[in-house]
Amino acid sequence: MQRAQWQAIAIGAGFMAVIAAIVSGRLPRWLRIALVLGLVVLAGGGGLYVFRYATNPKTLTVAVSSLDGNVVQLLPAIATQMASNGSPDG
């Protein structure tokens, strides 16, 4: 086995040992409470990060060859339509 695989096995075994100690009550009460609160804080932070990433506004960029012609009239019409439909890119 490679070193990375052994490390993954060791981390997994350590994690399972901590979970088993929490469940069996072999850790002091204050340490169990601290571990659970730490996990709650990590889960809340991860949820907040995902929420902010998912609701982050997007920018739509369109490349055109020149500014003369129908493109100047077409792009504002597309933007208006996207805004009226409630598109996240609008």
Of residues 89 and 52, which shows the higher confidence score?
A: 52
pLDDT of amino acid 88:
60
**DSSP string for residues in 6-67:** HHHHHHHHHHHHHHHHHHHT-S-HHHHHHHHHHHHHHHHHHHHHHHHHHT---------S-S
Cα separation, 89 vs 87, whole angstroms: 5
Using the Cα atoms of residue 79, residue 83, residue 88 and residue 90 in order, give the sign of their dihedral.
positive
For the chain, the domains span 3-54, 58-90
Q: Is the pLDDT of residue 89 over 60?
A: no
pLDDT digits (tens, 9 = 90+) for 51-74: 988 888 777 777 776 666 677 777
Q: Is the pLDDT of residue 26 over 50?
A: yes
Please, which pLDDT band fits residue 30 given cuts at 50, 70 and 90? confident
Q: Is the pLDDT of residue 90 over 80?
A: no
Residue 71, CA atoms < 13 Å, CB-side half-sphere: 8
